[in-house]
Every structure is written in C-alpha cells, then in structure tokens.
Amino acid sequence: MVEPGKIIFVHGASSSGKSTIARGIQAQIGLPFWHISIDHLRDAGVLPMARFKSREFDWKAARVPFFDGFHRSLAAYAAAGNNLVLEHILDTPGWLDDLVALFAPFDVFFVGVHCPLPLLIEREKARGDRPLGSAERDFHTIHQCMEYDFEVQTDSDAPGNVERVIAAWETRAGESFFVRRVKV
C-alpha cells in the first residue's frame, strides 16, 4: 500500500506571495513536492480561458464543476502518494469544509499568508493578470474565522518566509487545523 502524500496548503489573498512561497518550498524542502495551483491549469491552457473571456462559454456555469474537480484531483494526487504544495484561495462558501473532508486521510499543514493591503494592491496592478480589486476583496474576507498551523507576513524577506514555513512543517507537533476542524 502506498503511503499517503503530505499537503502543505498555502492560503492567502490574490497577489499575497503564495506562489513565491510555494516555489521556494518545492525548491528547498527535503522531499519531492508537487506545486499545484489553479494558475497552473489556467496558464497551461487546460481551461479555455479565451472562450470564457469572450463569453462564448459561461464561467459562472463552469466554475462549480471545475473547482469540484480540482479539489477532488488534489485528494487523488495525495492518495496516490504524491506530496503537494497547494496554493489556493478559499473564497467560496463551502470550500473549506469540502477540502477538510477530502483531505481527512492526509497530513495537512495549513499556512496563512498575510500581506498589507497597500502592497497587495501595488502587486496586483504590477501583475496585470488579475481583475483589479480581487486582492482587496480577498484581504477583507478570506482570513475571517480561519485558524492556521503557521502564518507568515509577505511584505519582506521571502527567502526567510520559505525557511520558516519549512522549519515549522518539519517541527510541528499536535493536531493540524484540518484535523481539529474534522472533530467539530
């Protein structure tokens, strides 16, 4: 039987620095980890983004089955023994509970990524690939009522944040937020 994969779940607002942290973890951690993100699927052409943008296809109709499939695929990857660094934004009611249920068999380390609002807005504008206002909306909502196993501030010291996340993951003790959430 295959040992289940481990999941480091990096959660934060759009443009908060999740990708930088996830890439750093993948490059430095002592085990092989897949870096998984919705952005990777979008950027690889998995989704017909041009047709959604032109409104030929209805994103609102496709969004629920897309994310349901994405979430289930994460559990399938981990069940097959793959370790994951997941960067994701829990911006939709029910997603946290869905992932808690799907990830119940796995060791999940939940990392909160925080960034000051002015810097989020600046990063979002500089990127140019996000709807303006997404970062600010996330800033005000996604961390509400969340508990994390570890948290970082991404306004400076990106390499230090990666090292701190890895060290916290390697030395963690006790039940993770995802385990505690299952018991509620």
* Type of residue numbered 53: K
Query: What's the rounded Cα separation, in Å, for the pair 19 and 167?
Result: 18
CA 129 to chain centre: 18
pLDDT at 92 over 80: yes
Element (H, E) at 93: none
- Closest to 148 measured CA to CA, from 112, 106, 113, 182: 112
Contacts by residues 65-73 (CB-CB < 8 Å, ≥ 24 positions apart): 67/92, 67/95, 68/98, 70/38, 70/41, 71/95, 71/98, 71/99, 71/102, 72/102
Contact between residue 45 and residue 33 where contact means Cβ atoms under 8 Å apart: no
Identify the pLDDT of residue 126. 84
Contact between residue 102 and residue 72 where contact means Cβ atoms under 8 Å apart: yes
**Predicted TM-score (pTM) of this structure:** 0.93
pLDDT per residue as tens digits for the range 129-172: 777 778 888 888 999 989 999 999 998 888 899 999 999 999 99
What's the CATH architecture for 6-183? 3-Layer(aba) Sandwich (3.40)
Identify the pLDDT of residue 127. 77
pLDDT per residue as tens digits for the range 10-21: 999 888 899 999
Q: pLDDT confidence of 124, banded at 50, 70, 90?
A: confident
pLDDT at 175 over 70: yes
Query: What's the rounded Cα separation, in Å, for the pair 154 and 157?
Result: 7
pLDDT per residue as tens digits for the range 35-88: 999 989 888 989 999 999 999 999 999 999 999 999 999 999 999 999 999 999
User: CA 157, 159, 163, 164: dihedral to nearest 10 degrees?
Assistant: 20
Cβ-based neighbours of 172, under 8 Å, separated by 6 or more: 109, 149, 150
Identify the pLDDT of residue 87. 97
Pair of tokens at residue 55: 């409104």
Pair of tokens at residue 152: 């970082």
Measured CA angle at 138 (ends 97, 63), to 5 deg: 60
Query: What's the rounded Cα separation, in Å, for the pair 44 and 48?
Result: 10
Identify the pLDDT of residue 135. 83
Q: pLDDT confidence of 174, banded at 50, 70, 90?
A: confident
- Strands 83-88, 150-153: pairing is unpaired
Identify the pLDDT of residue 184. 64
